[in-house]
Amino acid sequence: MEVVAPVLGVSLIVSTSVAAPPPLDPLPPDANSYSYNYGAQDAGEPTSSGHAPVAPPREDHSDESQVSRPRNCRELSEYVQVICPSADGGGKATKVSPAELALTKWARMPIPIPVVRTAPPRRRSGLVGLPEWFWVTNGHPLSDRVAARNVRVEVTARPQSMTIAPGPGEQVVRCSGSGTAYDKSQPASSQRTDCSYTFARSSLHEPGGAYRVRVTVVWGGTWRGSDGSGGALPPLSRSTTFRLRVAEAQALYG
């Protein structure tokens, strides 16, 4: 999706993209304790290396003032393209607006690939008829500042919603925020979440004997300039996929 918005004579083209999913998890074993009361706080193994996926390394932009120079006025990144005139009629550099600076900074925000936990944990089989909880452990708000000439801007990013696609033929679940963590020390009947999915059939006949689940987190951004200006930024999304085995069994609630 592309959004074109004029900012003080400056053309801004903002596009969002979804990062390629990290490697698939190893397939979970068949063992199951038929209860929520195990390993709900374990992260499993998000990647084949055993480490959670991380955002790409941040570029070194220690001299952010270069954004306002005529020779660097064209800024192209994965999400934001800023094109402005190289100079005004008097040969002086065009002034950078707070909105333009905010969009450029937004393009460089290190929005992470979601690290997802489930209950029952996905290193064990889930159960038909038992709600599978999903939540993200790295959905904390991010904030950063940038300055160019006499313009200063603070940009903040927060997870707004999460989408769970359980697999082909299954209903997509959308929930606000980044989910609620399951507390295995509390009875299941006393806990609630809107980020769960109840499978009606086992994954026995799915490819590899497991559902391929895709979780997408949508981040929203806001900015505030030193002159009191501010506003919203276009949403960005990050996704991850993993396999989840679901077995036919009698569910026991703790």
Phi-psi region of 209 (alpha: psi -120 to 50; beta: other; left: phi over 0): left
Write the pLDDT tens digit of every residue in 159-175.
999 999 999 889 999 99
Residue boundaries of the structural domains of the chain: 18-63+112-247
> Which whole number is the average pLDDT over 94-108?
89
Q: How many residues does the chain have?
A: 254
Asked whether the beta carbons of 217 and 162 are under 8 A apart, the reply is: yes
Write the pLDDT tens digit of every residue in 190-204.
999 999 999 999 999
Task: Work out the pLDDT band at 248, boundaries 50, 70, 90.
Answer: confident
Asked whether the beta carbons of 28 and 124 are under 8 A apart, the reply is: yes
Q: Please give the Cα distance from 115 to 135 (Å, whole number).
A: 8
Say what the pTM is: 0.63
DSSP designation for 150: T
Q: Provide CB contacts within 8 A for 111, sequence distance 6+.
A: 55, 142, 157, 219, 236, 238
